[in-house]
């Protein structure tokens, strides 16, 4: 592992200037030899006048449902099967932003919705759940967004109201009444089968209901019955307005405010748990580590637990404004500010033996930033970013900008190993195998975007996508030059393409316009010339279409697949072989322009399509190669 990291840093030290970029010509691809075997599964027809709302697609993108006007009200259609007519099919608001999905699907395609029997649109009910066409019991109100299937689709539950009380219904059985109740959750255990649970209150008593049996919310028997081994993990409870953290016979509190799951940290240690959290009491914040409260401060930041749970670290600040790190309960030196900066950055090395943080002294133009590693200050810089250990833990890397020298330095273990002419921007990113890196350089007014891959600097008007293959062997990024753009694959620049974004801009290629095969051997992306789009696979351009979407590889990496539009029709393309044409592929969300392609296996695809008023599931088998 250390040799891998040294190779990475040797590349970084090679030069501070941009290398010349090779340019690869685009070659016309040969037509594919595959054959597509098509099966069209009818999913019904849209009624005359269209549905009340757009079609709703199941999470697996294999089923479709919609609501349509019918004599005497509305009817739900699921895969073309018309349900009973009701005064309305409920579609309640999720928030002020609008309604949700009136249909809830299981993973295996079962569908449920809420029938509204009220004659008055301002009334809340009565309502019934309709599951696979069968009506459930009547309630005063059922929220259409609160229906739940178990993961395997075999069990179904929801919450409902009747006579001012609340009930939970599981597989047709009512539980209640309660003053308040929450949606059920499901778990499957080997030897015990399904276990369901929900929280409820009755007469001021907080309850955990497991398989229909009521327990006090804090009863360890009930918690273990549902949560299993996780029942011993720390959790928050409220008693008489005060907050406590409870785990494995430990209780810490009381505290004045909710602690919250995001501030509760736990790591397994010696068959138990090391628990750490930030809490508030009497206007001060305290860090609690392993049940022991630290000193009260005006501010306590996130508490970090090292791998192996041997050490803890957190930033703190006193009323006088002095900031410092508390490492294993001991205060470090004071600074103007201390922080653990960066996205998902952990301040400990992978083996848990080393730590770092960023500190600053001074204000404004005269401020200095330092990386403090294992308690030792590094060289001062005007700006520091991207502090991280290499994935193998062999080195500590970061970027420091020295204003006096006007350079950004890549620093390894305190030593400046490369420099660049622009300020850094963002974190240092690693390839999935941990052997390669990239980071960005800030674009100044009138200047260029900078990108450094394995120490090699590239400068363009703008840099969009940057990707490594999952094995780390391939690198790809998209860059703008003038009004056009190029794709740079393994340091080799493509020909110049036309803008492909909205309003004549250069767009991002993520989400269906750039793909790397599993194992990293192949690269494909969507190019644009003469107002037409085409797929470039391993440097070879395919047929041209009005637009291209859903670009990807089959799981085995052998086939390139995508959808395309041509002369107002939609089709699927596999290695250049085209499917039949359809009027459209059905999108699953309001922000999707084109329905998405399912990769069902190494040689199987499916997509939902529309031909006239007919709705179809198009299943494609790749054959003949």
Q: pLDDT by residue (tens digit) across 17-30?
A: 444 455 555 444 44
> Taking Cα atoms as reference points, which of 512, 517, 555, 507 lies closest to residue 537?
517
DSSP E strands in 107-241: the ranges are 111-116, 127-131, 134-135, 147-149, 156-162, 165-170, 173-178, 180-181, 185-189, 193-202, 205-210, 213-216, 235-239
**CA distances, 8 to each of 386, 431, 456, 459, 561 (Å):** 16, 11, 11, 20, 34
pLDDT at residue 263, rounded to an integer: 84
Residue 559 domain-assigned?
no
Residue 191 domain-assigned?
yes
Q: pLDDT below 50 — which residues of the chain?
A: 1-20, 26-31
Residue 421 has a CB neighbour count (10 Å cut-off) of: 16
Residue 173 domain-assigned?
yes
Asked whether the beta carbons of 589 and 599 are under 8 A apart, the reply is: no
pLDDT at residue 184, rounded to an integer: 94
- What CA–CA distance (Å, rounded) separates 453 from 489? 11
pLDDT tens track for 85-139: 999 999 888 755 556 789 999 988 899 999 999 877 667 779 999 999 999 999 9
Tokens of 463: 């840099």
Coil vs helix vs strand at 393: coil
pLDDT at residue 205, rounded to an integer: 93
Give the β-pairing of 547-553 and 540-541.
unpaired
**DSSP class per residue in 12-23:** HHS-SSBPP-EE
pLDDT at residue 544, rounded to an integer: 98
- What CA–CA distance (Å, rounded) separates 397 from 403? 19
Residue 558 burial class via C-beta count within 10 angstroms: exposed 0-12, middle 13-18, buried 19 and up: middle
186 lies in which domain range?
150-232
pLDDT at residue 311, rounded to an integer: 96
- What CA–CA distance (Å, rounded) separates 329 from 289? 9
Asked whether the beta carbons of 570 and 585 are under 8 A apart, the reply is: yes
- What CA–CA distance (Å, rounded) separates 323 from 359? 9
Reading across the β-sheet that carries 73-78, which strands appear in turn?
56-57, 64-70, 73-78, 81-86
Asked whether the beta carbons of 613 and 42 are under 8 A apart, the reply is: no
Residue 83 domain-assigned?
no
- What CA–CA distance (Å, rounded) separates 317 from 146? 43
Omega within 30 of 0 (cis) for the link into 254: yes
Coil vs helix vs strand at 481: strand
pLDDT at residue 261, rounded to an integer: 81
pLDDT at residue 121, rounded to an integer: 66
pLDDT at residue 24, rounded to an integer: 55
Contacts of 19 (CB under 8 A, 6+ apart): 456, 457, 458, 491
pLDDT at residue 7, rounded to an integer: 42
Residue 330 has a CB neighbour count (10 Å cut-off) of: 9
pLDDT at residue 116, rounded to an integer: 95
Residue 185 domain-assigned?
yes
Tokens of 545: 């279409």
Q: Into how many domains does the chain fold?
A: 1
* Matching residue, tokens 């259409």: 144
Give the chain's count of helices (H) and strands (E). Answer: 2, 63
pLDDT at residue 193, rounded to an integer: 86
Residue 625 domain-assigned?
no
pLDDT at residue 270, rounded to an integer: 79
8 membership: H or E segment, kind and range: helix 2-13
Residue 168 domain-assigned?
yes
pLDDT at residue 343, rounded to an integer: 60
pLDDT at residue 352, rounded to an integer: 95
Task: List, in sequence order, every residue forming a beta bridge with 561; answer none if it has no partner.
Answer: 552, 574
Contacts of 500 (CB under 8 A, 6+ apart): 485, 506, 507, 509, 513, 526, 528, 533
Residue 186 domain-assigned?
yes
Sign of the alpha-carbon torsion through 488, 489, 493, 497: negative
């Amino acid at each position: 592992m250390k040799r891998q990291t040294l190779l990475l840093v040797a590349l970084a030290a090679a030069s501070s200037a941009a290398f010349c970029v090779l340019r690869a010509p685009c070659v016309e691809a040969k037509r594919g030899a595959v054959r597509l075997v098509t099966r069209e599964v009818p999913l019904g027809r849209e009624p005359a006048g269209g549905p009340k709302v757009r079609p709703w697609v199941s999470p697996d993108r294999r089923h479709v449902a919609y609501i349509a006007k019918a004599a005497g009200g509305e009817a739900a259609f699921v895969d073309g099967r018309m349900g009973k007519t009701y005064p309305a099919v409920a579609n309640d608001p999720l928030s002020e932003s609008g309604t949700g999905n009136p249909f809830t699907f299981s993973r295996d395609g079962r569908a449920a919705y809420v029938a509204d029997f009220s004659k008055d649109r301002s009334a809340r009910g009565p309502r019934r759940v309709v599951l696979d066409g069968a009506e459930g019991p009547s309630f005063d109100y059922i929220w259409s967004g609160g229906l739940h299937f178990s993961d395997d689709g075999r069990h179904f539950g929801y919450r409902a109201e009747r006579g001012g009380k609340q009930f939970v219904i599981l597989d047709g059985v009512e539980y209640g009444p309660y003053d308040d109740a929450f949606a059920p959750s499901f778990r499957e255990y080997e030897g015990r089968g399904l276990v369901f649970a929900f929280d409820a209150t009755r007469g001021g008593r907080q309850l955990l209901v497991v398989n229909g049996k009521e327990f006090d919310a804090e009863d360890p028997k009930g918690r273990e019955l549902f949560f299993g081994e996780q029942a011993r993990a720390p959790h928050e409870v409220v008693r008489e307005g005060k907050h406590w953290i409870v785990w494995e016979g430990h209780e810490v509190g009381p505290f004045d405010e909710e602690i919250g799951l995001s501030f509760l940290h736990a790591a397994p240690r010696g068959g138990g748990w090391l628990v750490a959290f930030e809490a508030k009491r009497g206007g001060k914040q305290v860090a609690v580590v392993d049940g022991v409260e630290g000193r009260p401060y005006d501010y306590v930041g996130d508490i970090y637990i090292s791998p192996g749970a041997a050490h803890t670290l957190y930033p703190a600040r006193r009323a006088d404004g002095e900031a410092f790190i508390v490492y294993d309960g001991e205060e470090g030196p004071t600074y103007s500010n201390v922080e653990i900066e960066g996205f998902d950055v952990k301040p400990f090395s992978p083996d848990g033996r080393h730590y770092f943080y960023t500190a600053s002294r001074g204000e404004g133009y005269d401020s200095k930033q330092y990386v403090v590693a294992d308690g030792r200050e590094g060289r001062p810089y005007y700006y520091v970013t991207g502090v991280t250990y290499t994935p193998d833990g062999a080195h500590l890397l970061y970027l420091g900008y020295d204003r006096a020298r006007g350079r950004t330095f890549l620093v390894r273990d305190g030593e400046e190993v490369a420099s660049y002419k622009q300020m850094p921007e963002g974190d240092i990113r690693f390839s999935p195998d941990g052997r390669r890196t990239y980071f960005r350089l800030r674009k100044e007014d009138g200047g260029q975007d900078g990108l450094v891959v394995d120490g090699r600097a590239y400068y363009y008007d703008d840099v969009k996508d940057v990707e490594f293959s999952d094995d780390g062997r391939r690198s790809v990024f998209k860059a703008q030059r003038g009004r056009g753009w190029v794709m740079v694959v393994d340091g080799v620049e493509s020909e110049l393409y036309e803008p492909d974004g909205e309003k004549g801009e250069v767009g991002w290629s993520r989400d269906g316009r750039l793909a790397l095969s599993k194992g990293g051997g192949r690269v494909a992306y969507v190019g644009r010339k003469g107002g037409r789009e085409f797929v470039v696979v391993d440097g070879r351009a395919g047929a041209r279409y009005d637009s291209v979407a859903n670009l990807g590889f089959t799981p085995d990496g052998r086939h390139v697949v995508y959808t395309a539009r041509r002369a107002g029709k939609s089709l699927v393309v596999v290695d250049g072989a085209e499917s039949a044409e359809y009027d459209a592929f059905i999108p699953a969300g309001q922000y999707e322009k084109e329905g998405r392609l399912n990769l069902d296996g190494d040689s199987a695809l499916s997509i939902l399509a529309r031909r006239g008023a007919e709705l179809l599931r198009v299943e494609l088998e790749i054959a003949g190669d």
